[in-house]
Amino acid sequence: MTSINYILIGVGLLVLWLAFTYNALVRMRLRAKEALSDIDVQLKRRFDLIPNIVETVKGYASHEKQVLENVTKARADVAKNEGNPLEREGAENALSNTLKTLFAVAENYPDLKANANFLDLQRELSDTENKIQASRRFFNTMVKDLNTKVQSFPANMVVKMLGFKEMEFFKTEEGEKEVVQVKF
């Protein structure tokens, strides 16, 4: 074989490697975007359930007006924030915290806790919160995979040329990590 053949084989292998690397990065980026969309779907589901829960609680806990107003205000704040879940993260976390307070207040109303409609709504919301957490974990796993590929050798030498960059992880806010305290 001549040196030109070796050069052609080397160039061919480089082109193949670039194609495989590009396709892997595209696949990882799309999975991360899909995971972010899944978070958005679950947050929308929670957003839609909240008015039903607030109305159910109103009938039993009319003197807990401040808690109900906080939930309604937090929901309105989420509605004002446009963009993807990462951009609405603070408002979504505040809404989660107000819902925890609402359910803590509901514990003091035996009739409410026994109400089938409230129990169904509470189960739905609890299920949705679990799905939100699972979606966030899945998103962070996809971001980790993409960021690992972006930072790893030899892909890191051509990542910027191919138009890829690292993505941000979904983080919790400080207030979301604290235990909600309800005082009567």
Band of residue 177 on the pLDDT scale cut at 50, 70, 90: very low
Element holding 125 (H helix, E strand): helix 116-151
Band of residue 60 on the pLDDT scale cut at 50, 70, 90: low
Closest CA to 89 of 174, 178, 173: 173
CA atoms within 13 A on the CB side of 134: 9
- The residue that leads in pLDDT, 39 or 119, is 39
Does residue 175 register a pLDDT over 60? no
Identify the structural domains of the chain with CATH numbers, from first to last: 3-177 (1.20.1440.20)
Does residue 141 register a pLDDT over 90? yes
- Comparing 53-67, 81-95, 128-142, 162-176, the range with the smallest average pLDDT is 53-67
- The per-residue pLDDT for 1 is 72
51 upstream amide cis, omega within 30 of 0:
no
Is pTM beyond 0.75? Reply is no
